[in-house]
Amino acid sequence: MNATNTSRFVRLQVELVLEISDAQELTDAALAHVTEDAHAADVERTHAEAAVREDVAEALAHLVDPFDLISEVPGVELAQASWSSERIDYNPDAVEWDLDEDDEEGPA
């Protein structure tokens, strides 16, 4: 496939597992972020504050912005982004958490 037949768009998939070491600090930071959002309507802000207080995964989702990941990368522009977070059971020694499993397949 030559350059004229390839898409200019690339899907970058990133999976992170984060350990919450201080839930209150995370929640407080997310609440501050929600409060500072000048574009949110009052009803949206109230809903976001309740969600952040209820679940650290929601708090994290309010603080992580995919644009921040690529804003300093030259020659790219974010076309679309979506993200979510959820609480999980995590065992770093379990096979399903082997992040290098795709590397064993060889070059694509």
If you write DSSP's letter for every residue of 66-97 in order, what string do you get?
HHHHHTT-TT----------------TTSGGG
Q: Are 90 and 96 spatial neighbours (Cβ–Cβ below 8 Å)?
A: no
What is the distance between the terminal CA atoms of the chain, rounded to a whole angstrom?
Answer: 14
Render pLDDT for 35-63 as a digit per residue (tens, 0 to 9): 999 899 999 999 999 999 999 999 999 99
Check pLDDT > 70 for residue 2.
no
Check pLDDT > 50 for residue 108.
no
Render pLDDT for 12-23 as a digit per residue (tens, 0 to 9): 988 889 999 999
Check pLDDT > 60 for residue 3.
no
